Amino acid sequence: MPLIVSAVVPVYNEEGAAVQVAREIDAAFSSVFGADGFEIIFVDDHSRDDTYARLVAVQPDMPALRVLRHENNVGKSGAMRSGVFAAGAPLVVTLDGDGQNPAADAARMSQILHKSPSNVGMVAGQRRNRQDTASKKWASRWANSIRKAMLNDKADDTGCGLKALRREVFLRLPYFDQMHRYLPSLVTREGFDILFEPVDDRLRTTGQSKYTNIGRLAVALSDLPGVMWLNSRLRQPGKVTESGR
C-alpha cells in the first residue's frame, strides 16, 4: 500500500514529550490509515538534551518512525522544511512536538485533505479552548488580527501547529525563517483553497515554550511587510495547457 500521509514533527529540546507524541501519532494514524499508509518524521533541530537519543531508541518498536537531525539549529520553519523534503507521501501534516496537539486531530485533518478535491491545498487547525496564559493569548490575538487584516488570509489562528498540506503545494512556497506563521497566506497566494478545522489544545506538561510574547510580536511586525510584498509580486498564468494534449 502506498504511503498516504507523512506526519512531520519539528522538535527542539523536547526529551520529556517527544517519545509519547510519537507513540500517540502511531496509534492514531494506524487506526485511520492502516499500518502501511503513513510515516512519522521527527526532525530534531540540534537539541541540546536527549530528544534525539530517546527517539532513536524507540525506532525498533515503531517501524513508521523516522528520525532526522540537523547539524545546526535553524528554527521551526527550517525543521518543518527538512521533514517535508524527506517525506515520501503526497500529503504531509505538521504537529508540534510538545504534546499540545492531539494526534487524533492530525489524523482527522489528513483524512479530510485526502478526500478533498485537488484545489484544496491545506487544512489548517484552529485551536479552541486554548491552554495558554492570558498574556500569551492576548499577544496571539493581537498578532493574528493585524496579519489577518493586512493579508486577508481568513485565518484566525496561524500559530496552531496542526496543518495538513499537499506536499507539492508546500514545495512551491517561498521559504524564509518563520514562514510557518504565514502558511495560509502563502498557500492562497499559489491559488489553492484552504479549509479550517477546529482542533483541541492541551496543556504543555514538559519542557518550555521556545517563544516569548515579545518575540512573537517582533516576528509579526518584521515579516508581515515581506509577505505582503511577495503577494503583490505574483502573477498567476491561469490554466496552463499543452499543444496536442
CATH number at residue 128: 3.90.550.10
Q: What is the pTM assigned to this prediction?
A: 0.86
pLDDT for 133 beyond 60: no
Tell me how far CA of residue 209 lies from CA of 11, 27, 130, 180, 204, in angstroms. 11, 26, 14, 16, 9
Considering its fold, how many domains does the chain have in total? 1
Structural domain includes residue 238? no
Structural domain includes residue 22? yes
Cβ-contact 173, 186 below 8 angstroms: yes
Structural domain includes residue 182? yes
Q: Identify the CA nearest to 105 among candidates 181, 157, 163.
A: 163
Structural domain includes residue 175? yes
Structural domain includes residue 241? no
Band the pLDDT of 124: cuts 50, 70, 90: very high
Instruction: Express each pLDDT in 54-73 by its tens digit.
Output: 999 999 999 999 999 999 99
Note down the domain range covering 19.
5-232
What cell was used for 126?
Answer: 484552529
> What is the rounded CA–CA span in Å between residue 189 and residue 9?
25
